[in-house]
Amino acid sequence: MLRYIIRRVLWGILMLILVCAATFVLFQVLPTVNPAVLRAGRNASPKIIHHIEVEFGLNQPLWVQFWRYLKHIFLHFNFGYSLYSGQSVLSLIENRLPATISLTVGAVVLWVVIGIPVGIISAIKRGTFLDRAAMGTALALLSAPVFWLALIAIYLFADELGRWPILPGPDSYVGLTADPWMWFKSLIMPWLVLSATQAAIYSRLLRGNLLEVMGEDYIRTARAKGLPERKVIWRHGVRAAITPVFTVLGLDIGALLGGAVLTETVFEIHGIGLLNFDAISHSDFPIVQGTTLLAAMFIIVANIFVDVGYAFIDPRVRYS
Amino acid sequence: MRKHLAVLTALAVAVVAVAVVALSSSSAKTAGSKAGALPASATASIASASITEKPGENPVGQQLYGKKSGGTLTVYSGEDFEHLDPGESYFELDYAVMYATQRPLFTYPPNSNTTLVPDLATAMPTTANGGITDGGKTVTVHIQPNVKYSAPVNRDVTSADVAYAIERGWNPNVANPYMEYFQTLKGAPGKGGPIAGITTPNATTIVFHLTAPQAQLLIGALSLPLSSPVPESFAGPMDKHAPTTYGSQAEVATGPYMIEANPSTGVFAGLGYQPGKSLTLVRNPNWSASTYSSAFHPPAYLDRINVEIGGEASVIGPQVLKGSDSVQLDTPANTVVALAYEHYPRQITFTPGSGDHYVALDNVHGVFTNVNIRRAVWANLDRAAIVKLRGGSLVAEPATHFIYPGNQGYTQSGGAAGPNYPWNKDVDGNLQVAEHYMKLAGYPSGKYTGSETVQIVAGNNADAPAIAQVVDQDFTQLGLKVRLTEVDQPTMYAKYCGVPKEEIDACPSVGWIRDFADPLTTLFETFYGPAIVPTNNSNWGQVNEPAINKEMVTAENTVNPTQAAAAWAKVDDMLVDNAVAIPEEWDNQPNIEAGDVAGVNDLWDTGSWDFMFTSLK
């Protein structure tokens, strides 16, 4: 198992280097605008642009730039500086990450707590009114884009803006340590919105898997052995059916930690997603590069966790 | 996986923007709004119903003094600031903070577009008071005594600080974007250190020595943030960094407010300013209201100003309109303007003279080298349709020339009607006039029959694509074969329209905002031939007419303001006669505030909120 984990971590690092190369090509080799022109601002003279190119090393050969870029990231954890504010991208990310983690963790807990039981009940009660109502609701939520749901939620329930103002609205987020109660209240609506679609996906996914698994021979065998139905469902059915859900969950967590752009933008939560949105709006390449790498890192790490976790969840998987 | 590629993220951003606009109109519908009952694009027709029926306040004549003191104002802004260093800032949002925290030598009071008054200076320099001598080649300015810097500098401002502030503009680490206004100072351009053209005979006097009689231009330029004093002892070490960290990490203030900072270091980064998140202005304890002349004395009513950065414009707008103690700093969404127009008419203002847009035409390559083809496409362009696409007559009006409202010389150059040329008469386009000029251009059928293709590069954000379609259609109507490329706006300027060697035939919706009331700031950079540079070029049409260039130099060197305005009006007339570009529209900037805010707009700064004069009710 240890050898497997080490191998996966090494592959993860290689993957990160490849992502670095890809982002370098995207933002340094093929940028839509010369970063020095952006940094120079409006009306800058060619002389000043050249000076900035020298300062940023943009006049050096590409391989030198790439090597410096890799060195900064892997040895100094330095993602560069914003073209506009001059702030370190790492400090901006550090500043924004707690909000994104808060949003992600709460939303994940919600959609797992809602999605998995609903999926199981729907599968067990297949064809009943309960199943149809649950899957109908899931379909409706799946069809509703997150930003649309967010705006609807704001215009219905947000303070000052809503028809029934019962929850804090946009721009109400405060840090957990600053005011835990306000932190919780301000995230209720974003959590619900973000988890609604995901809960629907998870419930449908789990229902489908569970229905398939419950028709397998070994389930019939378990029942024939006289095991109680609850044990058959939980120990033999759900445990096997949940593996694909676990895979998706890992990837979703990784992706969300890279920034929930739409939710953060609409609710004005200053997380990685909003940072990314603003950076894209201003073509602030170093920030987009930084957040892209961060998202890639989260997804790679999540993948490793998922693969290792298989061994504990799925009885058919063993690493040697 | 969706976060893997920035491209996908950008796509998602575009999708949300479209959806947000769509939903905003439906939210207005819920409220029973006539405006909201129509799609977002139809707000244009509501707004264009009649300009005489504007329910929103026009900020001209707004109350400046005798208002309530105290309180905290919340300022929402979807956009972040770009530069908070007076040497670097060149953006309306930055200016709102700069003028509240820094004191340039001269300034415009909120209610004036054209009349400068002393701020840090004791008086406006004139020939009569000896401030302008040597036939307009020497300008002497005395500064107010006892003006103190905020902590940690805590000392009186001196004229040497003003000299350093201007000279550091040439330091490549500061790279001020409008140093061309100081190019006639002796010894200019500098490198960041002292130049011969700026001397400080004593602690409260600064003298500018020019190589040309351009005193008025210099005085205008001294109203920009660059002339705000900067203490070398404090900023000098920071200016050695590339880019300077003065204004991004730490700063000192001379105005009534300061960015909240550590008093022992002046560092505001992470405290008073968190990029993309927030900015906090607090009272500057070292500021004194008695250090002003009688012409301008900001009351500084508010105790604190909290700027909340980020978020979606269609969410911010309703937050302000329905909320309290708040204003929106950046431009409200069109749907929000419609909502305010219908339901909150006392909470929206429209500031005329907030810039212009035009179609840049390549004057030296391709089809548009022929002046009569340029006149023809001008005649046929439906400027009224473009106004509707911009948001209607509340937020824009058809442009007929290049000196836009609020600039000196606007009236002399024809006012709203503009110069009286046949191609300029019908703002909704006139095909017959256009065909007449196509015939004069050598196309007897009135349609272009040549083989060249017109390459148009346009922005792909907001209303730019729709406007590009209007331009495309009106060009095609004259037989021109058009190839339209849409890119994001920074790319449009930096890679295509601002790079002469790309030889782009037409760039719709290029925009310009004057730096101060002198028409030079509107016309020089954009239409003066010698100002053309290989990259980051702002003379997008590469206009280089010797007669126009000569007339610009004459206007530039005219000392008497009235004569200067007339000279610039003549330049404007020549630009229209040569149809060097096609004016699209002049902007009226909308701004929204909460019902309990007595906001004050700076007419000279695209109606941006003036925090020194804004108060709570």
* pLDDT value of residue B47: 37
A157 three-class SS: helix
* pLDDT value of residue A69: 86
Helix axes B232-239, B159-167, angle to 10 degrees: 10
B601 three-class SS: strand
Tens digit of each residue's pLDDT (9 = 90 or more) over A229-244: 888 988 888 888 888 8
Q: Give the pair of three-digit tokens for residue B280.
A: 């906090």
What is the distance of C-alpha A95 from the center of its chain?
A: 17
What residues does B358 pair with on adjacent strands? B510, B583
CA pair distance A279, A257, nearest whole angstrom = 17
CA pair distance B259, B280, nearest whole angstrom = 6
Among candidates B3, B90, B491 on the partner chain, residue whose Cβ is nearest the Cβ of A255: B3
What's the average model confidence in pLDDT over B391-406?
A: 92
Which DSSP string corresponds to A53-100?
A: HHHHTTTS-HHHHHHHHHHHHHHH----B-TTT--BHHHHHHHHHHHH
Q: Which residue of A has its CA nearest to B275?
A: A85
For B338, phi and psi rounded to 5 degrees?
A: -65, -40
**What is the distance between the terminal CA atoms of chain A, rounded to a whole angstrom?**
6
Contacting A residues, span 89-148, partner chain B, CB-CB under 8 Å: 91-92, 95-96, 145, 147-148
- Among candidate residues B354, B231, B253, the one with its CA nearest the CA of residue B305: B253
| Residue that the structure tokens 């139809």 belong to | B42
CA pair distance B586, B355, nearest whole angstrom = 6
- Asked if A37's CB is within 8 angstroms of B277's CB, the reply is no
Q: Residue B41: which pLDDT band, with cuts at 50, 70 and 90?
A: very low
Range scoring the smallest mean pLDDT among A39-43, A80-84, B145-149, B451-455: A39-43
Chain B CB contacts of A255 below 8 Å: 1-3
What's the average model confidence in pLDDT over A277-303?
A: 87
Residue A73: HSE in the Cβ half-sphere, 13 Å Cα cutoff: 23
Assess contact for A194 and A263: CB atoms under 8 A.
yes
- Asked if B310's CB is within 8 angstroms of A283's CB, the reply is no
| Residue that the structure tokens 């707690």 belong to | A98
Instruction: With a cut of 50, say whether residue B50 has pLDDT above it.
Output: no
- More reliable by pLDDT, B81 or B162: B162
Assess contact for B84 and B337: CB atoms under 8 A.
no
* pLDDT value of residue A51: 75
Distances (CA, A) of B405 to A136, A229, B522, B564: 58, 81, 11, 17
CA pair distance B247, B266, nearest whole angstrom = 10
Instruction: With a cut of 60, say whether residue B20 has pLDDT above it.
Output: no
Q: Which residue of A has its CA nearest to B317?
A: A161
Tens digit of each residue's pLDDT (9 = 90 or more) over B212-233: 999 999 999 999 999 999 999 9
Tens digit of each residue's pLDDT (9 = 90 or more) over A173-184: 999 998 999 999
What is the distance of C-alpha A204 from the center of its chain?
A: 20
- Asked if B1's CB is within 8 angstroms of A299's CB, the reply is yes
* pLDDT value of residue B35: 26
What's the average model confidence in pLDDT over B513-518?
A: 90
What's the average model confidence in pLDDT over A274-291?
A: 86
What's the CA dihedral at B188, B194, B200, B204 to 10 degrees? 110
Q: What is the pTM of this model?
A: 0.81
Cβ of residue A152 closer than 8 Å to a chain B Cβ: yes
B506 three-class SS: strand
Contacts of B155 (CB under 8 A, 6+ apart): B148, B149, B231
- Among candidate residues B474, B398, B345, the one with its CA nearest the CA of residue B54: B345
Q: Quote the ipTM score.
A: 0.71
Distances (CA, A) of B375 to B358, B361, B438, B532: 14, 11, 8, 23
Instruction: With a cut of 70, say whether residue B3 has pLDDT above it.
Output: no
Contacting A residues, span 5-44, partner chain B, CB-CB under 8 Å: 19, 26-27, 32-34, 37-44
What's the average model confidence in pLDDT over B582-593?
A: 95
Cβ of residue B531 closer than 8 Å to a chain A Cβ: no
For B479, phi and psi rounded to 5 degrees?
A: 85, 0
Assess contact for A71 and A275: CB atoms under 8 A.
no
CA pair distance A51, B518, nearest whole angstrom = 30
- Asked if A55's CB is within 8 angstroms of B13's CB, the reply is no
* pLDDT value of residue A271: 92
- What's the CA angle centered on B546, arms B544 and B552, to 5 degrees? 90
Assess contact for B283 and B151: CB atoms under 8 A.
no
| Mean residue pLDDT across chain B | 88
* pLDDT value of residue B222: 98
For A177, phi and psi rounded to 5 degrees?
A: -75, -25
CA pair distance B320, B323, nearest whole angstrom = 5
Strand ranges in B35-175 using DSSP code E only, listed in sequence order: 72-77, 106-107, 117-118, 132-133, 138-142
Q: Residue B45: which pLDDT band, with cuts at 50, 70 and 90?
A: very low
Assess contact for B172 and A48: CB atoms under 8 A.
yes
**Quick one: which H or E segment has residue B526?**
helix B520-527
- More reliable by pLDDT, A285 or B226: B226
Cα dihedral across residues B461, B464, B469, B475: positive or negative: negative
- Asked if A280's CB is within 8 angstroms of B6's CB, the reply is yes
Strand ranges in B495-544 using DSSP code E only, listed in sequence order: 506-512
